[in-house]
Amino acid sequence: MHSWQELEKNCIACKKCILSETRHNVVFGVGSPDAEVMFIGEGPGEQEDLKGEPFVGRAGKLLDDMLEIIGLSREKVYIANIVKCRPPGNRDPLNTEQEACFPWLHEQIALINPKLIVCLGRIAAMALIDSGFKISREHGQWRNLGERRIMALYHPAALLRDPQKRPETFVDLKSLQREIREICDHTELIIP
């Protein structure tokens, strides 16, 4: 296994798939490398590709608000994506692209060793929980993934498109807050 710095350096130099040909930046991840809670989205969008950081556009602002509701911040969690480079036109990442990036994500998970993983959206849930995952039916449901607990929330971009999903997402966030209180040792929740 690499050190954190080696992993990031190697990931930034990656050319394993065609996404490397059109990217501006590799979006490795952001947050605490010893976080107990890890959020994983599908892939960077245009703003993320330009800045090199996950969830920085409107969806990122909403994610920050969602974290704040339950007393979290980006500094206390780790945020990454299944693929580290932007798919053209923000299309869903292809299976071959996801497979090329999985080693980076798996090593991030191994190094961070989070107790809780939260998939942001259908693509991440299908990649990490179950290939037949139905976000509209299974969001907010906790499962075991080895020694970790894992669940999926609606992607913040989906909540921007359909605000009617926000009440059920609030319930899911409160479930996450309960899991953090029960399982996490050093994740302090600060409720305003």
Alpha-carbon distance of 39 to 91, in angstroms, equals: 20
Domain spans of the chain?
4-183
The CATH fold assigned to 4-183 is Uracil-DNA Glycosylase, subunit E (3.40.470)
CA-wise closest residue to 121 among 180, 169, 57: 169
At 68 the pLDDT is 96
CB 92 within 8 A of CB 81: no
* Residue 61 CA: distances (Å) to CA of 64, 87, 94: 5, 21, 26
Contact (CB, 8 A) for 151 and 176: yes
CA distances from 51 to 18, 27, 105 (A): 20, 8, 20
Residue with tokens 């309960």: 178
pLDDT of residue 127: 96
Q: What pLDDT is recorded for position 192? A: 56
From the first residue on, what is the mean pLDDT of each consecutive set of 10 residues in the chain (192 residues)?
A: 92 96 96 96 95 94 96 96 95 95 97 98 97 97 95 97 97 97 89 62
- Give the phi and the psi of residue 11 in degrees, each rounded to 5: -65, -45
